[in-house]
Structure 1
Amino acid sequence: MQLQFPLQFEKVNSKKVSDFILEQLEEAIILKELLSEEQLPTERELATIFNASRLAVREALGQLEANGLIEKRVGAKGGTFVLPVTMNSHRRTKKEIEREWDKMLKVFEFRMLIEPEAAFLAAGRITPEELEQLQELLDMSRAEDCPRELFRALDVKFHLNIAKSSNNLYFEKAVRQIRTQINPALDLMPYNHEIRSVNCENHSLLLEAIQARDAGLSKEIMRQHIAKSAEAIYTRVFDGGERG
């Protein structure tokens, strides 16, 4: 049987080494795995970590700096430091989100399928240690003096930990991919006592359902939670308003 071309093959991608480094560092910053004011390793150390040349590392860092994600500082306490993602999100992402809203809608659709199912599985598979970690994240986010950037980091980690607790690597990878896409939009959200209280209450209800091993309720609470998140992003992007 002769194959009929063209089949749906991907075209060859001539991506540079620096682009691979950029993507990994950018993902770690967007997912708050590298926090604000955290110092990155030196170019030499990063070259060793990525098994790449210092030139490739330098190109990646230059792009991260241009994107407003890192800052190079000189002096006795100099080095390369992560900047608060929320500090530059208003100028870096809002127009992009408006231009690519159709793509964002597809991410929301994907999220609505993946995260509720991850919560469903987590309710049946989560370990006592993982439950304790979720409780610790929730307690930290409730602190009155919790700053904006840390609160956002705790929110991301809460969702990633639930995906990890599904004990299914595919769900965990999918949620990482989803959060990498939507975090810049979530970083546009205002930050005040009311926003924090609502988010913490949603997370508390979700944690209680998972602790009770109620898979169906866990799935439904997660579904409602992320639906409200999508609605809030739409309102923020298209209705505007002052940042909180």
Structure 2
Amino acid sequence: MMPLQDALFRPVRAGNAFEETVERLMQAIRLGVVPPGERLPAERELATRLGVSRVTLREAIRSLQDAGYVESRRGRYGGTFVNTTLPAVSPGRPIATPELLDALTLRAVLEAGAAECAASRSLGPAERRNLGARLTECSCAALDEYRRKDSRLHLAIAESTGSASLTAAIADVRMRVNELLDRIPLLPPNLAHSNDQHERIVTHILAGDPEAARRAMAEHLDGTASLLRGFLS
């Protein structure tokens, strides 16, 4: 099974090395790939995987530390750790309807295709366990943890396609969608409905039914899109 971190901590482009390093680290934090309280990969390893100098990496980490996302600890068990409490997301600038629809359209195409692709593959035991674990994690998540656990499940489905490029593209669009979701309230009835849909999606993937997996994912994404359009359009 392809480690999800490999898709996020991929080499950055030289032109904007610092900015893209910050972006990749923030993806890993905001999407829960490195959860609160856990340590980022070692500096040497992370610099190599991102294809940046250790100076650039340190600048990026220092910036995130100043912003309240990570902390550095010294000693034998030291390193850079994601803070247990992350900064609150500010409302930010207004979202134009075309921008909202663009993000939702891209997400629908990528994630419905990913569900179909994952269901068409012969998944190994580790991949099947990973999907099951992420599903359980999401269904049992507390309200303040739900968005992160939901992201991890959707990224696990992407990871099950075996395509690093598709997983990275879905991580990118998920960041866009999460920024939108952070602006609307969490509605318990919607979360319960989403959990039921998640179970159907994963069931179809594990059963090897690509068309049913695509339909279930499309339906699930339509529900989220409706809420976003309702609150933000």
For this structure pair, what is the TM-score category when the shorter chain's length is used for normalisation?
A: 0.7 to 0.9
The corresponding residue for 1:103 is 99
> Would the alpha carbon gap of residues 188 and 44 (structure 1) be closer, same or farther in structure 2, given more than 3 Å must change?
same
Residue 62 of structure 1, CA deviation: 4.0
Q: Give the TM-score normalised by structure 2.
A: 0.74
> Would the alpha carbon gap of residues 175 and 66 (structure 1) be closer, same or farther in structure 2, given more than 3 Å must change?
same
The corresponding residue for 2:220 is 225
Distance 2:16 2:172 in 1: 21
Match of 1:156 among 151, 157, 166: 151
Distance 1:43 1:124 in 2: 37
Query: 3-state SS of the aligned residue for 2:120?
Result: helix
Distance 1:192 1:166 in 2: 30
The corresponding residue for 2:119 is 123
The corresponding residue for 1:56 is 56
The corresponding residue for 1:178 is 173
Residue 29 of structure 1, CA deviation: 1.2
Query: 3-state SS of the aligned residue for 1:221?
Result: helix
Moved more, 189-198 or 149-158: 189-198
- 1:136-159 CA-to-partner distances (Å, cap 9, x unmatched) read 22222233xx33454323211211
Moved more, 102-111 or 165-174: 165-174
The yes-or-no answer on 1:207 pairing with 2:194 is no
* Contact 2:30 2:148 survives alignment (8 Å): no
> Would the alpha carbon gap of residues 132 and 50 (structure 1) be closer, same or farther in structure 2, given more than 3 Å must change?
closer
The corresponding residue for 2:35 is 35
Distance 1:233 1:22 in 2: 27
- 1:96-133 CA-to-partner distances (Å, cap 9, x unmatched) read 3x245533321211122121121112112141522332
Residue 86 of structure 1, CA deviation: 7.0
The yes-or-no answer on 1:133 pairing with 2:143 is no
* Contact 2:115 2:157 survives alignment (8 Å): yes
Residue 48 of structure 1, CA deviation: 7.0
Q: Which has the larger radius of gyration?
A: 1
State the Cα RMSD in Å.
3.5
The corresponding residue for 1:241 is none
The corresponding residue for 1:22 is 22
Match of 2:108 among 89, 105, 112: 112
Residue 226 of structure 1, CA deviation: 0.9
Distance 2:164 2:43 in 1: 31
User: What percentage of residue pairs aligned between the two structures are identical?
Assistant: 27
* Contact 2:138 2:153 survives alignment (8 Å): no
> Would the alpha carbon gap of residues 128 and 50 (structure 1) be closer, same or farther in structure 2, given more than 3 Å must change?
closer
Q: How many residues align?
A: 220
Residue 223 of structure 1, CA deviation: 0.8
Long gaps (5+) in structure 2? 1-12
